Amino acid sequence: MKKVLFVSHGFACFMSDIIFHGLMKLGYDVYEFPLGTHYYGGDSIFAGKKNFGKDDFCNFCYFNFKRPVLTDKEIINQDYDFIIITSWRPEQPWILEEIYKRFKGKTPIAFVDGEDDLTIRKEHFYNDVYFKREIRLNTHENENIKPITFGIIPEENPCYIFPKEKKYLLSFIASGHNIDGLRCQMFRMLKDFNNENIYYLDVERASGGFLPYKTYREILLDSKIGISIAGEGYDTYRYYEIPYFGAMLMADTPTIKFENNFTDMVNAVFFKNLMEFNEKLDYLKKNPDVIEKITEAGRKFLMENHTSLHRAKYVISEMEKL
């Protein structure tokens, strides 16, 4: 069993949780520093609230066992096959100095940058490979920079069913960050539609940034189409939740690099602006069988390409090339 040192800030974080969950499920012997206590001791991977820019996250990956708490010295003095540093915020910067001093040139070291911004951080070039979210299309990077995106953390024991008849034609749940951005334009347009078959909610303004996760999940389950639009970054967890919960993904055209992204009108629907959105929505309303086919293909494609296991495999496979 290969041994992985997994270094993060120890708090809930989408990117860190996705990689950690995938590594554990793939059977790697993972030693995290510091201990991510939110990973253990529960019977569900979901907490009670959906995160929209706050500190509480829904995608806790609970495991029903406890890991030993190792001291800093015990962590540093072991040997590892891989070292993965994720979404690091320097509460304890000395640990990175010790890791580089002992392992650089001997053990592959990767940094996984889960931040929403487009910044390529040159200080991470010191790592053997640098995985970065939100890399713009047509950007030429240093060869050790690899694109990475979120992926879904599959539930162990789903406590819901996919309804045969759905209440909403489409739903759009997000935080309206920028009043001039596409998200807010979409909210205004959906409001003007005044259609009871359309559910929309600007969570940031309507509920102080939080929505009970059960409510959020039930709305997606009850929607034929789910809309995902870029916020602070293009890559959102919602992008994967929509097909996971059985709705057809309808999103603005990608502006960042993906590994094996969805394909327009095959397993998702993309639009450049509101005009194209309306044109495609009109077509879909007249062809409900197309919605069903794309929805089915989208969830299948998601589960075959975009889960936490696929993200962990991708990180490890790139490290094995070093």
- The answer, yes or no, to whether residue 125 has pLDDT greater than 60, is yes
Distance of CA 72 to the CA centre of its chain: 30
Domain layout of the chain by residue ranges: 3-154+307-320, 168-305
Which residues, including other chains, have CB under 8 Å from residue 95's CB and lie 6 or more apart? 7, 33, 72, 75, 76
3-state secondary structure 4-59: EEEECCCCCCHHHHHHHHHHHHCCCEEEEECCCHHHECCCCCCCCEEECCCCCCCC
The residue ranking higher by pLDDT, 322 or 310, is 310
Q: Are strands 49-51 and 210-212 parallel, antiparallel or unpaired?
A: antiparallel
On the CB side of 192, CA atoms within 13 Å amount to: 6
pLDDT class for 191, splitting at 50, 70, 90? Answer: confident
* Helix, strand, coil percentages, rounded to 5, for the chain: 35, 20, 45
Is 55 a residue whose pLDDT tops 60?
A: no
Q: What is the pLDDT of residue 53?
A: 35
Tens-place pLDDT, residues 234-285 = 999 999 999 999 999 999 999 999 989 999 999 999 999 999 999 999 999 9
Give the pLDDT confidence score for residue 209 in this predicted structure: 56
Report the C-alpha gap between 273 and 182 in whole angstroms: 8
- Out of 119-133, 169-183, 193-207, give the one with best mean pLDDT: 119-133
Given this model, what pLDDT does residue 205 score? Answer: 56
pLDDT: is 188 or 157 the higher one? 188
Rama region for 2: left / alpha / beta (φ>0; ψ in -120 to 50; rest): beta
DSSP class of residue 243 equals H
CATH class, range 3-154+307-320: alpha beta
What is the predicted pLDDT for the residue at 139?
A: 76
Candidate from 57-61, 104-108, 229-233 with smallest mean pLDDT: 57-61
Helix, strand, or coil (residue 65): coil
Q: Would you say the CATH fold of 168-305 matches that of 3-154+307-320?
A: yes
Mean residue pLDDT across the chain? 85
Confidence of residue 133 (pLDDT cuts 50, 70, 90): very high
Q: Quote the pLDDT of residue 48.
A: 37
| CA distance linking residue 199 with residue 190, whole number of Å | 8
Placement of tokens 């993906």 in the chain:
258
Provide the pLDDT confidence category of residue 72 given band limits of 50, 70 and 90. Answer: confident
| Percentage, residues of the chain above pLDDT 70 | 83
More confident residue, 110 or 98: 110
Lowest mean pLDDT among 43-47, 140-144, 174-178, 265-269: 43-47
Residue 120 has pLDDT above 70, yes or no: yes
- Tell me: the pLDDT tens digits for 90-102? 555 677 888 899 9
Q: Which fold has domain 168-305?
A: Rossmann fold (3.40.50)
What pLDDT is stored for residue 52 in this prediction?
38
Tokens of 8: 């993060």
> What whole-number distance in Å separates Cα of residue 210 and Cα of residue 216?
10
Q: Note the pLDDT of residue 37.
A: 61
Q: Name the pLDDT band for 109 (thresholds 50, 70, 90).
A: very high
